[in-house]
Amino acid sequence: MAADTGDDHSFGRISRSKDVAFEYLTLAATLVGIVALGILFVYVTRDAVGWLDWQFLTSPPHPDPYEAGFYPALVGSIFLMIVIALVTFPLGVGAAVYLEEYAGDGPVERFVRINIANLAGVPSVVYGLLGLGLFVTLLDIGYGTLLVAGFTVSLLVLPIVIISAREAIRAVPDSRRQASYGMGATKWQTIRNVVLPEALPGIMTGTILALGRAIGETAPLIMIGAPTTVFGVPNSLFSKISAMPMQIYTWASYPDTAFQYGVVAAASVTLLVVLLSINSAAILVRNRYQ
């Protein structure tokens, strides 16, 4: 392709039309994935019509598709989000502050940074094994509980929180820090009063987006033995919980086509709507403070 453009004849009409064609080709490539997913969403939404109703959102699961509900999974996912937020936010911000404000550029720090980038790429099912080995087997704090699920998924999204928090902290202009030091503030005071407030919207956005990732995770929950079906909502950290993606996975394997095309579609749309709300919240936070 590149060879013929090197010679003189290419500076003409052919080349320009090729240029236009190439632009459309790249545009088409950009749109193809988005359009494909859009079409699939239209299908799933169409199938969810008639199934996604108040009864569905407020009932427990049931083998009869017309009585099946999503309530325990919905509430379970929300509780799970809260636990994950409480774990990852302080840890993630702490790690980011350390890496950006304290750590130098020595081999240890570099190792930590590369390690975090690498952890972000570890398959989620491996985190599931970690949760199984560490929390369920070694620490013996129960299987499939809110606490174990929360910890396991927290470890999974922590690298994402750290990376986005680091970016937010790095974006704080150095002049602000220097001004604070000039006023006689200590490092900790500077971080607390200048850096963190300034970086907060960015950190919040990153954390909320990470929660969006967390809410869709299924494989780790399967590995830690999360129940496929729960009737009722969690009432302690040691309650067995269900979660939306887990319930979808369970239902997707039900042979009844009313589940395949109705109930699972309704559940998928619910999960996508919750996800959309989470991402909108992130965008709101970002726009509000920008």
Partner 1 sequence: MSGLELGHDSARSMRGRVVRVVFAVCAAVSILTTAAILLTLLADAVEFFSAVSPIEFFTGTRWTPTNEPVSFGVLPLVTGTLVITFGSALIALPIGLLTAIYLSEYASGRARSILKPALEVLAGVPTVIYGYLALVYITPAIDALVPVSTFNALSASIVVGIMIIPMVSSISEDAMSAVPDDLRQASYGLGATKFTVSTSVVVPAALSGIVSSFILALSRAIGETMAVTIAAGQTPRLVDLTDPAGVFLESVQTMTAAMVQLGASDVTGQSIAYKSLFAVGLTLFAITFVMNLLSELVASRYREVYR
Partner 2 sequence: MVREPTSGGGRGVSRRGFLAVAGAGATAGLSGCLGSNPIAAVGGDPREVAIAGSSTVFPVAEAIAAAFDEERSDVTVSISQTGSGGGFSNFFCPGMTDLNNASREISEGEIEQCGDNGITPIEFTVATDALTVVVNPEADWIDCLTVDELREIWRADGAQRWSDVREEWPDEEFEFYGADTTSGTFDYFVEAVIGEDANHRSNYYATERDRTIVQGVQGNRHAIGYFGFSFYSENPDSIKAVAIDAGDGCVSPSLETAMNGEYTPLARPLFTYAAQQSLAEPEVRDFVRFFIERAATDIVSEVGYVPITEEVRDENLQRLEEAVAEVTG
Residues numbered 47 to 66 that lie near partner 1 (CB under 8 A) are none
> How would you class 280 by CB atoms within 10 Å of its CB: exposed for 0-12, middle for 13-18, buried for 19 or more?
exposed
Tell me which of 52, 68, 74, 95 binds partner 1, using CB under 8 A. 95
**Position 43 contacts partner 2 (CB under 8 A):** no
Query: Rg (Cα) of the chain, in Å, rounded?
Result: 24
Q: Which is nearer to partner 1, 134 or 233 (CB)?
A: 134
Q: Which is nearer to partner 1, 30 or 178 (CB)?
A: 30
Q: Which of residues 148-177 bind partner 2 (CB under 8 A)?
A: 170, 174, 177
Is residue 232 helix, strand or coil? coil
Tell me which of 58, 118, 178, 193 binds partner 1, using CB under 8 A. 118
Q: Which is nearer to partner 1, 55 or 98 (CB)?
A: 98
Q: How far is the CB of 75 from partner 2 (least distance, A)?
A: 10
**Position 81 contacts partner 2 (CB under 8 A):** yes
**DSSP letter (8 states) at residue 122:** S
* Contact yes or no for 52/270 (Cβ under 8 A): yes
- Give CA–CA dist 96/14, Å, rounded: 53
**Position 151 contacts partner 1 (CB under 8 A):** no
**Position 131 contacts partner 2 (CB under 8 A):** no
Q: Quick one: tokens of 69?
A: 């509900």
Q: How far apart are the first and last CA of the chain?
A: 44
